[in-house]
C-alpha cells in the first residue's frame, strides 16, 4: 500500500498551459488569415459563375411558378377526391 502511494506522488505534475483569453489571442491571427483566404477564394469562385441574364431569370421564374401551380392543383384534387372516397366508404 505504501508503494502505491509513493508512485502516485512521484509522478510529475502537469503545469497549467494557460487558457481562456490567452488561447484566443494566440489563435486570433491564424483565424483572421483563414477568414481572409476563405473570402478571397469565395470571390474568385463567384467570378467564375455564369450568371443568367434578366430575360432568362424571368423565364425561369415563370416556369417554376407555373410548375408549382400545376402541382398544387394536382395534389389538391387528389386530396379532395380521396377525401370524398373515404367519406363514401366509411360514412
Q: Dihedral of the CA atoms 42, 56, 62, 75 (nearest 10)?
A: -60
With beta carbons less than 8 A apart as the criterion, state whether 79 and 71 touch: no
Separation of alpha carbons 66 and 69, rounded Å:
5
Q: What is the pLDDT of residue 15?
A: 60
Q: Cβ of 37: how many Cβ atoms within 10 Å? A: 10
Distance between alpha carbon 73 and the CA centroid of its chain, in Å?
A: 32
> Per residue in 32-44, pLDDT tens?
999 999 999 999 9
The pTM of this model reads: 0.50
Q: Report the C-alpha gap between 64 and 32 in whole angstroms.
A: 41
What's the rounded mean pLDDT across residues 9-31?
A: 71
Amino acid at each position: 500500500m505504501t508503494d502505491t502511494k509513493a508512485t502516485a506522488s512521484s509522478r510529475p505534475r502537469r503545469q497549467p498551459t494557460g487558457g481562456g483569453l490567452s488561447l484566443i489571442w494566440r489563435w486570433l491571427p491564424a483565424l483572421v488569415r483563414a477568414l481572409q483566404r476563405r473570402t478571397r477564394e469565395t470571390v474568385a469562385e463567384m467570378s467564375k459563375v455564369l450568371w443568367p441574364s434578366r430575360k432568362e431569370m424571368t423565364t425561369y421564374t415563370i416556369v417554376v411558378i407555373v410548375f408549382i401551380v400545376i402541382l398544387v392543383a394536382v395534389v389538391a384534387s387528389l386530396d379532395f377526391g380521396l377525401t370524398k372516397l373515404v367519406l363514401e366508404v366509411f360514412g
